[in-house]
Amino acid sequence: MDYYCSTKFTDMAVHVGSRLLYNCCKAYPERVNLDWLEDNPGKLFHTDTMLEDRKLMLDNKSCVSCHHGCYKYEEQGLPSTRHDQENMIINNVQSPLQNLQISLSTDCNLTCVYCSPEWSTRWQKDIDKNGSYNLEGVDIRNDNWHKLWAKVKQKSRSTESRFFKLLLKEIGLAKKLKRIEVLGGEPLLNNQLDELISKGEDKRLDIISGLGVSKSRLLTYLKKHEGKNISFKISGETTGENFEFIRYGSKWTDFCEKVKMISEHGFDIEFISTISNLTILDFPNFYNKFKNDYKININFLTGRPFLLPHVLDSKSKEIFKTWIGQQNDTSILEPLRNITDKDIQEVDKKNLFDYLTQFSDRRKLSLDFLPKNFQTWCGLIT
Ligand code: SF4
Ligand code: SF4
């Protein structure tokens, strides 16, 4: 196996609330030592762990962080983010940071079906109220860190956090940094976003959002930052009831209106469509609605085996394959052509049933919007 990945040499993600560094966003994180960072300004992208991992990669050896993010999926014949990259060779372990992703906090009003307490406070609240999801081989629960962070938040969570200040300083020192992506939680809910926009004004700034904010708050942002080098990458992949299930907490008509508002204020929009089995059932409608006006980027789901695109009934697979076969846009859709082909494991089918049942029960949602053939195959109706 070839272990090289250029993203290790160019990209870093930072989770401000938990002080976690990911090299890259899919990799296993490390915790930043603030005293060390204060003594080593400009070195956030060159921690000992990152340098060691890059050396291992150049020696064509596996490292733990990328095993977590990519290699373990590839070993099972599953897609990985690594294979979606342009892999030009960089062999300097001290290479400068080019792309930075920042999660300001996990504050979010949505519980998207494939998200988790790691990224969304609404997910954390759901687990607090209704308990963990205990599926076969997969637990979705609040870890100790989430509990601790929730308590800190109730007392005071200063926007002037020491790490955030140090991070702004690092951005100022990162002369080769081209692009900052701000993600969530929901970045539009976070007041630190304004400071970040000011600090990164000479870079391209992408706001990755599920649009889980009120229209009035969104409008305030749009007016305030009109004309700046900011673009929106909006998470979305299906329409109507399927959308409202997958992106629970958001309404489809509201979502469409917000997309229109952003566009009318002159900001560039791209979509990030995360492809799961539930997405496959309605992605063609989403694609047809937006493909002429906006770029649609495909994101591959990881970490939830029972939501992978191949865990699907044969009729739904056939319908999707026929649709893909009729499309001309091979650049975006080519990776999806054979995505449903893999054999289904019984455990994934069982977990899918358990997950859908628990997810919908907790929210008192009907699953009737799902195609009958899918429901029957899954055991939701007999
Ligand atoms: S191998 Fe995967 S986890 Fe590691 S840097 Fe590349 S894309 Fe990220
Ligand atoms: S909007 Fe983002 S952070 Fe919030 S639940 Fe959805 S995927 Fe998670």
Q: How far apart are CA 274 and CA 238, in angstroms?
A: 10
Best mutation site among 10, 26, 71, 88 for ligand 1, i.e. most ligand atoms within 8 A of its Cβ? Answer: 26
Quick: pLDDT tens for 259-318. 999 999 999 999 999 999 999 999 999 999 999 999 999 998 888 999 999 999 999 999
Strands 230-235 and 268-275: parallel
Domain boundary among 67, 97, 127: 97
Nearest CA to ligand 1 atom 8: 24
Domain boundary among 97, 120, 137: 97
- DSSP for 26-55 reads TSPPEE--HHHHHHSTT-TT--HHHHHHHH
Q: Report CA-CA distances (Å) from 175 to 39, 41, 184, 307.
A: 19, 13, 25, 40
303 and 212 assigned to the same domain: yes
Ligand 2 centroid to residue 255 C-alpha, Å? 14
Q: Report CA-CA distances (Å) from 27 to 5, 12, 103, 108.
A: 12, 9, 15, 22
Ligand 2 centroid to residue 212 C-alpha, Å? 8
- Nearest atom (ligand 1) to Cα of 81: 7
Amino acid at 195: E
For residue 230, report the phi and psi dihedrals to the nearest 5 degrees. Answer: -120, 135
63 and 147 assigned to the same domain: no
Residues of the chain with pLDDT under 50: 154-156, 159-160
Quick: pLDDT tens for 158-204. 544 899 999 999 999 999 999 999 998 999 999 889 999 988 788 99
Q: Collapsing DSSP states into helix, strand and coil, what is residue 345?
A: coil
To the nearest 5 percent, what fractions of the chain are helix, strand and coil? 45, 15, 40
Best mutation site among 22, 24, 300 for ligand 1, i.e. most ligand atoms within 8 A of its Cβ? Answer: 24
Q: How far apart are CA 40 and CA 320, in angstroms?
A: 52
Which domain range does residue 81 map to? 6-97
For the Cβ of 69 lying below 6 angstroms from any atom of ligand 1, the answer is: yes
83 and 174 assigned to the same domain: no
11 and 135 assigned to the same domain: no
Ligand 1 centroid to residue 213 C-alpha, Å? 31
pTM of the model: 0.87
